[in-house]
Amino acid sequence: MSPESVVTLANEAVKLSLLLAAPLLGIGLMVGLVIAILQATTQVQEMTLTFVPKIVAVLLTLIAVAPWMLSKLTIFTTRLINSIPEFIR
């Protein structure tokens, strides 16, 4: 297994991780920003007010994008398993 193939494999794994995490983190960020703006305008500083909407939004997003995430992971894993003989040489 050459150093170039290790770097390529690690690069693909990091890109896939970022791609899969992006929708969940983006929704969490947007909901958190909206809640923060609402809290700033109404001057309500309740700590639990930020957690519940974020959790619900991220959970709903996860349910919506789970099939896409699973297909991406399945494709990556299948390619990785199929390329094991090349890595052994």
What tens digit of pLDDT does each residue of 10-67 get?
999 999 999 999 999 999 999 999 998 998 898 887 777 888 999 999 999 999 999 9
Residue spans of the domains in the chain: they are: 3-88
Per-residue confidence (pLDDT) for residue 20, from 0 to 100: 96
Per-residue confidence (pLDDT) for residue 88, from 0 to 100: 81
Sign of the C-alpha dihedral, residues 50, 54, 56, 57? positive
pTM over 0.95: no
Decide: residue 6, CB within 10 A, 0-12 exposed, 13-18 middle, 19+ buried: exposed
Give 5 or 78, the one with higher predicted confidence.
Answer: 78
Q: Kindly state the average pLDDT of the residues 66-75.
A: 97
